[in-house]
Amino acid sequence: MKKVNVGIFGGTGYTGGELCRLLLNHPEVQEILPTSREDLDFNRYYQALSGTGINFIRPADLEKKVQEGRIDIAFFSLLSGEAMKLAPMVLDAGVKIIDLGADFRFKDPRFYEKIYGKKHECPELCRETVYGITELNRKDIRKSRLVANPGCYVITAMLGLAPILDKGLISLDHIPVFGIHGMTGAGNKPERATIYTEVEGNILPYQQTHRHSWELENEIKEFSGQEAKVNFTPSYGPFSRGTIVWCNPLVKEYSKIISRDELLRLYSKYYKNEFFIRVNQFPRTKSESQKEYDIYPQIKNVRGTNFCDIGLDYDQERGIAKIITVTDNLVKGAAGSAIQNMNVMFGFDEKDGLKYYGI
């Protein structure tokens, strides 16, 4: 199979830069073409990637290369509403798409219109789009020409919830989900609340009715076939990258029989063949009333990687499953999972360009 040429519409954001960094080490990628609307020097803008031979091109020039058949796959790392304008032209040229934004995350475009307040310009494409959590939708991704990458919070939460949802063990009436992620999630356009002097030593809550609440509820329904109510609370933390999510669902008709060990066995079996999912199975060596840090996952261990680490516990007194999931919001939460999806779409090894361990 020939190597692929990759176009990145929206190359100047954190996700666009991360796509370039990861794709540089991909054995099946030949050319990487990120766009910039401004006249920017790639080496100066991304000095960590200087000397790699990548240069910014204008969006119109990338569109021309698409129409000339010189691009095999296009990543969209664009503001909401922009991907839907480009998608028909790109697909008509025979180019596959992975959209890292929200334009195609809902099969029913009315959800997009409700949440984002904009009319969807190509609703017919929503129905054929595959939601891009590789571990859960691999079969459909393999056959797809249009993949919608999930939001960083949603992929982190869904990977934590999927095994227990699959067994139908939890109540869907109210699922508390709390998340903190790094400041790169706020983008690279500064405002006072997100500059270093405001964030350092602080936790910054925001959007208490967050759009990812609807996205997560939608994916739970797609996965389980049942309606769910999610109580999602997001915040930014004083670090640049990483996402940690706590899901605390009530176990249905809980009893003393369920235990942390049983949850560990369930999750380990469910993800036994998934390279990028690591279930923390370290046994508890102290009593439940004593602190034991290393049985739970930590953001620092997935930083710069495509891994999702999951830790588990169970509150027997209250019948609550404690699911803690961590990812790097720029890798597994964005560029890394997008490349993993690309690998599936083209029949490459899923680990290509992504076999990095924590830094």
Question: Which residues are catalytically annotated?
Answer: 152
Return the bridge partners of 96, or none.
73
Between CA 31 and CA 45 the distance in angstroms is 19
Residue 308 phi/psi, 5-degree rounding, is: -120, 115
Q: Is 238 helix (H, G, I), strand (E, B) or coil?
A: coil
Residue of 107, 128, 123, 32 whose CA lies nearest to 73: 32
Residues 132, 133, 135, 140, CA torsion sign: negative
Is the sign of the CA dihedral 52, 55, 59, 63 positive or negative?
Answer: negative
Please report where in the chains the tokens 């939601």 appear, as a residue.
131
What is the DSSP track for 5-62? EEEEE--SSHHHHHHHHHHTT-TTEEEEEEB-SS---HHHHTGGGTTS----B-HHHH
228: three-class secondary structure by DSSP: coil
Cα 65 to its chain centre, rounded Å, is 28
DSSP state of 250: B
Q: Of 216, 134, 233, which Cα lies nearest the Cα of 180?
A: 233
